[in-house]
Structure 1
């Protein structure tokens, strides 16, 4: 399973929390913006470009490897890693990046 599919299957269900966790929603939004900057998916227009699937997958794989090295375990609630993984999942779903595979 690709890292994007793995992350999406695990973290897309957290989108439901957006309805009652405004702080989580704002944090994920900030992570989405930072990922777009990091992956150079921003431009001067009003609608951001979709990230390249391969670039996001490479980033996701590296992020998952770093979490494994830290022996990270998903907390109750959310932390930086949960926000980042949820942001990756949001980008995948919003831009239909799994449909391209």
Structure 2
């Protein structure tokens, strides 16, 4: 499983919290904006819609972020810390821009 698929699989369930955690929703939105700036996709692709991040660049960023979390021996908390917000933002970008390849058919 690719790093983006692994992150998306783990953090997609957090989207359900958007309905009743407006602070979490706002924090994830800020992380999405920061990731767009960091990855150079903050400008509009067409009209007012921001461009999709390059999947390779997002993967590289995600791998570095996961490595840093491993160095800290981070474990996902029940609440929302910086890492949960950042990983949920990565997941949002993956889903919003359909960055995962379709599942292989047997």
Q: Structure 1, unaligned stretches of length 5 or more?
A: none
> Is 1:58 equivalent to 2:57 in the alignment?
no
Cα-to-partner distance string for 1:35-77 (whole Å, 9 max, x where unaligned) = 0000001115411000000000000000000000000011111
- Larger proportion of strand: 2
RCO comparison, higher one (Cα < 8 Å, 6+):
1
Flag the structure with larger Rg: 2
Equivalent position of 2:16 in the other structure:
16
Cα-to-partner distance string for 1:61-94 (whole Å, 9 max, x where unaligned) = 0000000000001111110000000000000000
Equivalent position of 2:96 in the other structure:
94
Structure 1 moving runs of 4+ over 2 Å? none
SS at 1:83 equivalent: helix
Equivalent position of 2:86 in the other structure:
84
TM-score, reference length from structure 1: 0.95
TM-score, reference length from structure 2: 0.91
Query: 2 CA distance for matches of 1:59 and 1:79?
Result: 18
